[in-house]
Structure 1
């Protein structure tokens, strides 16, 4: 895999870690506090990011749609009531799974991704990594709005801030 793809993925890991570090500084009830937003709570939003990351890894490993969808639903169910610490551990394990998978690939490896509604597309795995990163970035923005609604600041996770740390 190209260094740029790996660097982009490491940004995603860094940003998620920053979020967890920030959430640990906030009152414990923020994790499950109900919000009027895209997700009903911070915990539900973080569960979604985690489950989608897991599902996309299975897609990159060429799991059929039905299998990837079943994994997504299982991961969402498993993390419905987890604590902040438990979900953080799951994020770390998933990051290690991604690293191991990405390290084993040719930089231009492409796969066919089939969807029952949208059809099939041949795409490099590096573009799927870009999608995972974009998805996480989008929802970390949702998180900032949710935290502000709960009376707490968000945490900066912009790519530029990551570049200052590497």
Structure 2
């Protein structure tokens, strides 16, 4: 990998899987147990992460952002009832979609992003990827905090650990 955005996207998928692997070690009831955080449950946080990544995937595929938001919105309710198995499967499939897309894409290409929250601007696909990764990092941090509130530790999923683990496999 010689593209930073491509490497960061790989990190994003690795970090999501690292969090899921930690959740597999814990009682399944924790997924739907309420906490005092940005989202009421771990499932709601994972749902948000998945739905927003799906929305951005639609955007990088050429869907206007308001339409992509509408298409992704039903996932926010559906995902609250998903099991860990469903999250694992969906996030894995999503990672594969992104991996295929990024290998075939000129990340320097710009699109007009019609963001209904902040306005219209020209944005490179690379910037969108970096935003997606940053957004995921934020919510994986929420999950770490929620796990602590529920009496469990999280797991290290920092970029530097990914970086070192990747250098060991090369």
Give the TM-score normalised by the residue count of structure 1: 0.95
Asked which structure has the greater RCO (Cα within 8 Å, sep 6+), the reply is: 1
Helix, strand or coil at the partner of 2:108: coil
Gaps of at least 5 residues in structure 1 are none
Moved over 6 A (4+): none
Q: Is the contact made by 2:49 and 2:136 (CA closer than 8 Å) also made in structure 1?
A: yes
Q: Residue 74 of structure 1 corresponds to which residue in structure 2?
A: 74
- Counterpart-to-counterpart distance in 2, 1:37 and 1:46: 13
Q: Which moved more, 1:103-112 or 1:14-23?
A: 103-112
Provide the residue aligned with 1:120 in structure 2.
120
| Alpha-carbon distance, 1:115 to partner | 2.2
Tell me which moved more, 36-45 or 102-111.
102-111
CA distance in 2, matches of 1:130, 1:73: 22
| Alignment partners' CA distance in 2, 1:123 and 1:65 | 12
Q: Which residue number corresponds to residue 163 of structure 1?
A: 163
1:54–1:72 contact (8 Å) kept in structure 2? yes
Equivalence for 1:46: 46
Q: Which residue of 2 aligns with 1:15?
A: 15
Tell me the distance in 1 between the aligned counterparts of 2:110 and 2:70: 23
Aligned residues between the structures:
166
Give the 3 Å change call, closer, same or farther, for CA 85–55 of structure 1 in structure 2: same
Instruction: Give the TM-score, by structure 2 length.
Output: 0.93
Q: Does 1:109 align with 2:85?
A: no
Q: Which runs of 5+ in 2 are unaligned?
A: none
Quick one: structure 1 residues 30 and 60, their matched pair in 2 at CA, closer, same or farther if it must change by over 3 Å? same
